Structure 1
Amino acid sequence: MAILKFRIYFEEDDSVYRDVVIRHKQTFFDLHEIILKAYDFDSKHAATFYRSNDHWQRGREISLERYDKKYKAAPLLMKETTIGTEIHDPNQKFIYVYDFAKNWTFQVELINVSKEENPKVTYPSVVRKEGIPPSQYGTKGLLGERFADIEEKYDLTKGAEGFGEEGEGAGEASDEHEGEEHGSDEEIF
């Protein structure tokens, strides 16, 4: 059985991508689900694939369902279409669009075909992650969940020793206490 390896690029930043492996007899619905998992997206929205060429032009549509729109040709359905039937080129490309309101677009490129199935892998599977993925419903800090661990470990919520709060500058202190003498070193920087 052929194992297909696809690289799924986030369209807006090609340094962000995920590599997935899938059997050629599995469906586009399986590919759709593993892409969502790879990018930490939910599965609540409409989605479609387009067969593509080397210039990323949209061709035949392979859709999650038939949507209320005009089609040049009736779309194939993801659950009924195996991936192997749509591979016409050793570097076959597809465009994947998820959530038509947000229009998340990914470029899906076949990068390897193997005859050897790895018994340790459950297909489909994510085998490589590069770059920080977009956040489906809003902004995500560059550090994401890791920042919470850092914040907890070093307690970044408290002011660090030697640093005052905003507005506690030395110039303000001398203006407020002009002409006064300090008897102790408590507030002197």
Structure 2
Amino acid sequence: MAILKFRIYFEEDESIYRDIVIKHTQLFSELHEAILKAYEFDSKHQATFYRSNDNWQQGREITLAVYDKTYKAPPLLMSETTIGSEIKIPNQRFLYTYDFNKNWSFLVELINVSKEESAKTTYPSVARKEGIGPSQYGTKGLLGEKFADVEEKYDLSQVGEGFGEKDEDGEDYTSEDSNEVEGGEDE
């Protein structure tokens, strides 16, 4: 059985990617779910794959559902289409779009085909993660999810009561004072 390794690049930054291994007999719906899991996205929105060429042009569409839009050709459904059936060239590419309002776009490229299946691996599986992926709904970064939760719960951009611009003696704190404190005064 062929094991396919796809590299899924975040379209806006190709240094951010996830490698996913999947059997050629598995469905596009499984690849779709693996991509969402790898980038820590939920599965609440519409999605579609497009078969693509070396120039990343949109080809045949493989959708999660038939959407209310005009298609050049009838779309294939992710839940009925095996990945192996759409591999036409050795370095096959797909475009993947998730959440048509936010328009998250990913570049999906076949980077390896192996005949050896690992008994320890449950397919599909994330084989490699590079870079901090985008946050689906807000801030995410080096500080992690807990900081993002705090940031969402409390509006940290507003100065709260008790945190005004006065020093300990109750005097207004001005930029002149800050220069004296930072630079120090010659006495």
SS in 1 for 2:31: helix
SS in 2 for 1:134: coil
What is the deviation of 1:140?
1.8
What is the deviation of 1:139?
1.7
Aligned partners of 2:12, 2:110: CA distance in 1, in Å?
19
TM-score (norm 1): 0.78
What is the deviation of 1:16?
0.6
C-alpha contact 2:8 2:19 (8 A) present in aligned 1:
yes
What is the deviation of 1:142?
3.1
What is the deviation of 1:144?
1.4
TM alignment of 1:26-175, pairs within 5 A: 26-145=26-145, 167-168=166-167
Residues 145 and 76 (structure 1), Cα distance of their counterparts in 2 relative to 1, 3 Å cut: same
Identity %: 74
Amino acid at match of 1:34: A
Aligned partners of 1:61, 1:89: CA distance in 2, in Å?
17
Aligned partners of 2:84, 2:33: CA distance in 1, in Å?
17
SS in 2 for 1:85: helix
Larger radius of gyration between Structure 1 and Structure 2:
1
List alignment gaps of at least 5 residues for structure 2: 149-163, 175-187
RMSD over equivalenced CA pairs, Å: 2.3
Aligned partners of 2:114, 2:166: CA distance in 1, in Å?
64
List alignment gaps of at least 5 residues for structure 1: 149-164, 176-189
What is the deviation of 1:93?
0.3
C-alpha contact 2:132 2:141 (8 A) present in aligned 1:
no
TM-score (norm 2): 0.79
What is the deviation of 1:114?
0.1
